[in-house]
Each structure stands twice: as structure tokens, then as C-alpha cells.
């Protein structure tokens, strides 16, 4: 399956996803869902089960965004940590957070069983183990907070069972789960279509309008009229700047190491390092498993050493799991970190009636996406949901540490504008290897210069159209990434993911732009929302 979100691919993408036709006329539906990842398809599936006529639109194939790049840990061991969540939201809200993730795993299991989806879903144990230099108190505090949050049967163990090299204290979370995310999405889509739902891929939404009815207008000029629209793109492209000041985009790196089958027990693993590492197993063949290991996160567009990050992951996998097989997969993904550790799911905080958003996966996209499906279904159906206030996109960031994090993350964004006055990364195009990109100074501004594999030079404005930060080349994913709010663009400047809703502007520069590199491509805006 081709990837729409970067140059690398994950093992999930190796299998070809079922194709759907693009939308070629105007249609009417009860609900239009924009985005066919786990959030969009779960929402569509659950709404259809309660009798809503649903249309799903996606610019790419199903699961071709971040769902195809997850490691698919299904867990109520929350990445933010129960101690932190309790500090940020209080004990009652933390209980609701734990309950919602537990319910999401149960919901996925129920759908898998009901629809007979063959996606390697399995229940297994999870272990949060101490990183080097961390004290056992850290785990004791986390255990106390998890117990107060109502997480069932958590306990401390003196070492991780069955892993010789992990003779360190750990916290055991029973009844976690894992699956093959794209096979699961295929099952959801199949069930949706079987029961009358409509899915259109290769259909980019250019505009979302709230109102009665709402309208989703595609790039090719067709309109879906609907009572409600759910924007289930990973990053909200319709939340204005307000929501993006409460979210930070991070890149996370993943490797797959081939190991003899059974040499590491099948379980979910995390350590307590900052940023933390995460691991799981996936069956590769009768004789081998993949040990999938991730971590080494950094703010999107703010690191150049992506290759070294893979090397550090490999060293960690070998040290912590004794994995001595070859690294057969390398990929990266994008994580949206909400400033207070919980996703934003619910009514669009802008004045866009009947438009809903879901974003801020906080590293737990599979459960947050499923929570979004359950919560948005209830909101649309006018049914009370106990998680509505917890995940409300319009909630205020009130507690001390969240306010400090909010200030720190936004100061970081403000600093990115200093790149306007910095020197370019190269001064001659010959310094850019074919198949790569770099920033060059041109007059008072910066240009994003891409040399294609044949050596032709293509030039674009380096200014991100969202809020005018300067983008940066990502050598691993061969994309231009924005360091402010995480918009990403392909080598030719087309939007991969928002919040930007327009491409990097092509520019022609005498003596630099090759004739073969002249701007050629039509505008491909992402979705945006306007109130009626």
C-alpha cells in the first residue's frame, strides 16, 4: 500500500488495502465523516449501528495516514501517566480517563468478535519498567494513582517476567491488547459498506461548513450535505489557532527487529524514561517474530539527527531485550500531544454548528480514536456521555503544570520565528544530494529547495501557510515539516497533514530552479471550516 504520510512504511502497510472509488457527484447523508483512519471509521461504524446514514471521505486510502504508522498498543496504561493526570485533572476526571480507555479496548474487542475481523487481536499483559537511573518510588507513586483511578488488578513486580535482561522493577497492567491496525480498519470498512455506508477515497475535502445542513466540499467540487460533519483527520484543520496552541506535534521513531519466535514473551512494554520507549511483538513467520520498538520523540521539524535516532533505538532494543537479529523495519509517525494529556473530542470550539472534531492522540491513537467514535456517536444522537466534559475541545487549561507546559510549548513556537533571520542551511544547490532538500537564503527570505532523484531543482517558499513559520527538511520521511504546529508537506510542497490548508507556494528563481523543476502542480488545499 503506498504511504500518503511519508517515505517510510510500516509492516502494516505491506498489505494492500481495499480500494474505494472517489466521490464523483453530490450526495446527502445524515453524517459525513472526513478521514478514514481509526477515528473516522470507528465513528462511522458506530453511527451506522444506531441507524445513521454515513458517508466517509478520505484524501488517500483507508488508514494511509497515522493509523498506518502506529504500533497499535491498546492500553489503559496511559502515556501521560496517572500521577500527572491526577495532578492536571483531579482524581474523578482521572478515573473517567482510565474508564474510557478500558472501554475502548473492550469496544474494539467487541467489534472484532461481532464482525469476525481477522486482525490478530489478542489480550496480553503490559509492563511499565524502570529506566536506568529512575527510583522505584516513581513506580510506587504511579501504582497509587492508577489504583485510585480504578485500573483493575495493577501491581508491582520485582522484575519483568520472562525477559532475562529486564531484571528491574515494573508495574503490571493485565488485560491490555494489540492488533493489526490496518486489517482492523479493513474489517470496519467492510462492515460499514455491507450495511449501506458509503466510503470514498482519493477524495480530498477542501472546505467544511457548519450549519443546517452542513456541507463538505471536495477539491473536485462535489458536495456532501449532512446533518453533522465529523472531522477525523489526525490534526484538526478546522480549529483555528486556538486549538493548535493547546497541541504540540512530535515525531516518534520505530524499528522492527527480527527475533526467534518466542524468545521475548508476547506483551506490551514501556519504560519510564523521558521520552519513553515502547515495545511489542508481532508474528512475522512460523520461526520469527518482529520486536517492534519505538521512542526517540522530538518536536516535529526541530531535529536533524533522524538516522541517529533509529540507531539509538536499535541499541536500546539489543540492550533491554537481548535482541540480536537484523533491523528489518524503520519508520516514523506523528503524535499530537495535548497540553493537558487528554485528547480533544467533541463539538468544534469555533462557531461551526454540527461540526465535531477529534484530535490530540497523546500517543494512544487507537484507544483515543475509539473513544472518539463512542463519544461523538452519543453527542450526535443527543445522548449523555460521561466523558464529554473531560474531552471537550473547548475546555480551559487551568491547573499549574498544564499552564506551565502551555507556556513552554508556545514559547518554543515563538522561538521558531527566529529562523527567518538565520542563514540558509546550504548556499549552493550542489550541496543538496539528489532526493533531498534544504533551506537556502534568497534575498531577505528563505526558500525550500528540493533536488529530485534525477537532480532537477525545485524551489518553494519555505513559509508554512498556516501561521508563517519556516519549514524544515525531514530526511527520513522526505517531507517538509513545520516546527510550529506540525504541518507537513511532500517534497513538492503539497499538504500531507494540517493544520496548514494550502501548499508551499512554488517560486521560480533564476539560476536555481531547473526548467524541469518549474511549478507544475494544481493547488491541493486541505479542509477548512467556516461557520454559516
In the complex, what is the shortest distance from the CB of residue 463 to ligand FES, in angstroms, rounded to a whole number?
9
Pick the binder of ligand FES from 485, 494, 503, 528 (CB under 6 A).
485
Q: Site residues for ligand FES, window 179-218 (CB under 6 A)?
A: none
Three-state DSSP state, 18: coil
Please tell me the distance from the alpha carbon of residue 20 to that of residue 62, in angstroms, as a whole number.
9
Tally helices (H) and strands (E) across the chain.
9, 25
Give kind and range of the element (H or E) at residue 438: strand 436-442
Contacts of 476 (CB under 8 A, 6+ apart): 6, 7, 8, 253, 306, 307, 310, 330, 332
Residue with cell 492508577: 146
In the complex, what is the shortest distance from the CB of residue 263 to ligand FES, in angstroms, rounded to a whole number?
43
Distance of alpha carbon 119 from the chain centroid: 20
In the complex, what is the shortest distance from the CB of residue 187 to ligand FES, in angstroms, rounded to a whole number?
34
| Interface pattern 315-354 for ligand FES (x via CB under 6 A) | ----------------------------------------
Q: Are 144 and 85 in contact (CB under 8 A)?
A: no
Which of the ranges 222-230, 274-282, 328-336, 483-491 carries the binding residues for ligand FES, by CB under 6 A? 483-491
Which of the ranges 44-52, 136-144, 263-271, 478-486 carries the binding residues for ligand FES, by CB under 6 A? 478-486
In the complex, what is the shortest distance from the CB of residue 485 to ligand FES, in angstroms, rounded to a whole number?
3
Question: Per DSSP, what are the bridge partners of residue 451?
Answer: 436, 457
Residue closer to ligand FES by CB (options 410, 456) is 410
> How many of the chain's residues bind ligand FES (CB under 6 A)?
12
Residue closer to ligand FES by CB (options 240, 353) is 240
Residue closer to ligand FES by CB (options 250, 276) is 250
Residue closer to ligand FES by CB (options 244, 451) is 244
Question: Per DSSP, what are the bridge partners of residue 472?
Answer: 481
Please tell me the distance from the alpha carbon of residue 255 to that of residue 318, in angstroms, as a whole number.
12
- Is residue 122 exposed (0-12), middle (13-18) or buried (19+ Cβ within 10 Å)? middle
Q: Site residues for ligand FES, window 492-521 (CB under 6 A)?
A: 499-500
Supply 200's cell numbers: 470514498
Q: Site residues for ligand FES, window 278-297 (CB under 6 A)?
A: none
Q: For the residues of 418-435, what is the DSSP string, one character each?
A: GGGGSPPSBSSGGGSPTT
In the complex, what is the shortest distance from the CB of residue 500 to ligand FES, in angstroms, rounded to a whole number?
5
Residue closer to ligand FES by CB (options 348, 416) is 416
Contacts of 274 (CB under 8 A, 6+ apart): none
37: number of CA atoms within 13 Å, CB side?
29
In the complex, what is the shortest distance from the CB of residue 118 to ligand FES, in angstroms, rounded to a whole number?
38
Please tell me the distance from the alpha carbon of residue 450 to that of residue 457, in angstroms, as a whole number.
6
Which of the ranges 31-39, 120-128, 433-441, 480-488 carries the binding residues for ligand FES, by CB under 6 A? 480-488
User: CA nearest 199: which of 60, 57, 64?
Assistant: 57
Pick the binder of ligand FES from 376, 469, 495, 497 (CB under 6 A).
469
Q: Site residues for ligand FES, window 86-115 (CB under 6 A)?
A: none
Please tell me the distance from the alpha carbon of residue 68 to that of residue 332, in angstroms, as a whole number.
10
User: CA nearest 237: which of 37, 527, 5?
Assistant: 527
**Sheet with 495-497, edge to edge strand ranges:** 472-474, 479-481, 488-489, 495-497
In the complex, what is the shortest distance from the CB of residue 503 to ligand FES, in angstroms, rounded to a whole number?
12
Which of the ranges 148-156, 192-200, 353-361, 477-485 carries the binding residues for ligand FES, by CB under 6 A? 477-485
Residue with cell 513559509: 463
Residue closer to ligand FES by CB (options 38, 496) is 496
Residue closer to ligand FES by CB (options 243, 482) is 482
Q: Site residues for ligand FES, window 11-50 (CB under 6 A)?
A: none
Strands 355-359 and 268-271, sheet pairing = unpaired
In the complex, what is the shortest distance from the CB of residue 469 to ligand FES, in angstroms, rounded to a whole number?
4
Q: Site residues for ligand FES, window 438-467 (CB under 6 A)?
A: 464, 466-467
Supply 78's cell numbers: 496511559
By the rule CB under 6 A, 236 interacts with ligand FES = no
Residue closer to ligand FES by CB (options 47, 339) is 339
Please tell me the distance from the alpha carbon of residue 18 to that of residue 308, in angstroms, as a whole number.
35
In the complex, what is the shortest distance from the CB of residue 202 to ligand FES, in angstroms, rounded to a whole number?
25
Pick the binder of ligand FES from 484, 495, 497, 504 (CB under 6 A).
484
Please tell me the distance from the alpha carbon of residue 295 to that of residue 360, in angstroms, as a whole number.
18
Residue closer to ligand FES by CB (options 281, 464) is 464
Residues that bind ligand FES (CB under 6 A): 464, 466-469, 482, 484-487, 499-500
Amino acid at each position: 500500500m503506498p504511504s500518503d504520510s511519508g517515505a517510510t512504511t510500516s509492516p502494516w502497510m505491506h498489505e494492500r488495502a481495499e480500494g474505494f472509488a472517489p466521490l464523483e457527484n453530490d450526495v446527502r447523508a445524515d453524517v459525513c465523516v472526513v478521514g478514514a483512519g481509526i477515528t473516522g471509521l470507528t465513528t462511522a461504524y458506530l453511527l451506522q449501528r444506531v441507524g445513521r446514514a454515513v458517508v466517509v471521505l478520505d484524501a488517500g486510502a483507508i488508514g494511509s495516514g497515522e493509523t498506518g504508522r502506529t504500533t497499535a498498543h491498546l492500553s489503559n496504561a496511559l502515556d501521560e501517566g496517572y500521577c500527572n493526570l491526577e495532578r492536571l485533572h483531579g482524581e474523578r476526571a482521572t478515573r473517567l480517563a482510565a474508564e474510557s480507555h478500558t472501554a475502548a479496548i473492550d469496544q474494539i474487542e467487541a467489534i472484532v468478535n461481532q464482525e469476525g475481523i481477522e486482525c490478530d487481536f489478542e489480550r496480553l499483559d503490559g509492563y511499565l519498567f524502570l529506566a536506568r537511573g529512575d527510583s522505584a518510588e516513581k513506580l510506587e507513586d504511579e501504582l497509587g494513582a492508577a489504583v485510585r483511578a480504578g485500573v483493575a488488578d495493577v501491581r508491582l513486580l520485582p522484575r519483568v517476567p520472562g525477559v532475562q535482561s529486564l531484571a528491574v522493577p515494573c508495574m503490571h497492567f493485565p488485560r491490555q491488547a494489540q492488533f493489526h491496525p490496518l486489517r482492523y480498519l479493513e474489517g470496519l470498512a467492510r462492515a460499514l459498506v455491507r450495511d449501506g455506508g458509503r466510503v470514498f477515497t482519493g477524495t480530498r475535502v477542501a472546505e467544511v461548513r457548519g450549519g443546517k445542513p452542513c456541507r463538505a466540499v471536495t477539491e473536485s467540487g462535489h458536495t456532501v450535505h449532512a446533518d453533522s460533519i465529523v472531522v477525523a483527520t489526525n490534526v484538526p484543520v478546522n480549529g483555528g489557532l486556538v486549538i493548535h496552541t493547546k497541541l504540540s506535534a512530535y515525531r516518534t521513531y520505530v524499528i522492527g527487529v527480527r527475533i526467534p519466535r518466542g524468545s521475548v514473551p508476547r506483551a506490551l512494554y514501556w519504560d519510564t524514561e523521558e521520552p519513553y520507549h515502547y515495545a511489542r511483538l508481532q508474528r512475522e513467520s512460523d520461526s520469527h517474530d518482529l520486536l517492534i520498538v519505538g521512542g526517540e520523540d522530538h518536536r516535529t521539524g526541530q531535529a536533524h539527527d533522524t538516522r541517529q535516532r533509529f540507531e539509538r533505538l536499535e541499541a536500546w532494543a539489543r540492550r533491554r531485550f537481548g535482541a540480536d537479529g537484523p533491523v528489518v523495519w524503520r519508520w516514523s509517525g506523528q503524535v499530537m500531544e495535548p497540553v493537558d494529556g487528554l485528547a480533544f473530542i467533541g463539538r468544534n470550539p469555533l462557531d461551526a454548528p454540527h461540526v465535531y472534531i477529534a484530535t490530540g492522540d497523546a500517543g494512544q491513537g487507537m484507544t483515543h480514536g475509539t473513544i472518539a467514535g463512542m463519544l461523538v456517536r452519543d453527542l450526535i444522537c443527543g445522548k449523555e456521555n460521561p466523558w464529554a466534559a473531560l474531552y471537550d475541545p473547548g475546555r480551559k487549561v487551568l491547573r499549574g503544570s498544564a499552564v506551565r507546559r502551555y507556556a513552554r510549548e508556545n514559547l518554543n513556537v515563538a522561538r521558531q520565528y527566529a529562523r527567518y533571520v538565520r542563514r540558509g542551511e546550504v548556499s549552493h544547490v550542489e550541496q543538496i544530494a539528489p532526493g533531498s532538500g534544504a533551506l537556502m537564503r534568497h534575498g531577505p527570505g528563505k526558500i525550500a529547495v528540493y533536488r529530485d532523484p534525477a537532480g532537477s531543482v525545485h524551489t518553494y517558499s519555505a513559509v508554512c501557510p498556516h501561521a508563517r513559520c519556516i519549514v524544515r527538511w525531514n530526511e527520513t520521511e522526505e517531507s517538509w515539516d513545520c516546527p510550529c504546529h506540525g504541518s507537513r508537506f511532500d517534497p513538492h510542497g503539497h499538504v500531507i497533514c494540517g493544520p496548514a490548508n494550502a501548499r508551499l507556494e512554488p517560486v521560480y528563481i533564476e539560476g536555481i530552479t531547473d526548467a524541469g523543476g518549474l511549478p507544475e502542480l494544481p493547488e491541493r488545499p486541505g479542509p477548512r471550516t467556516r461557520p454559516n
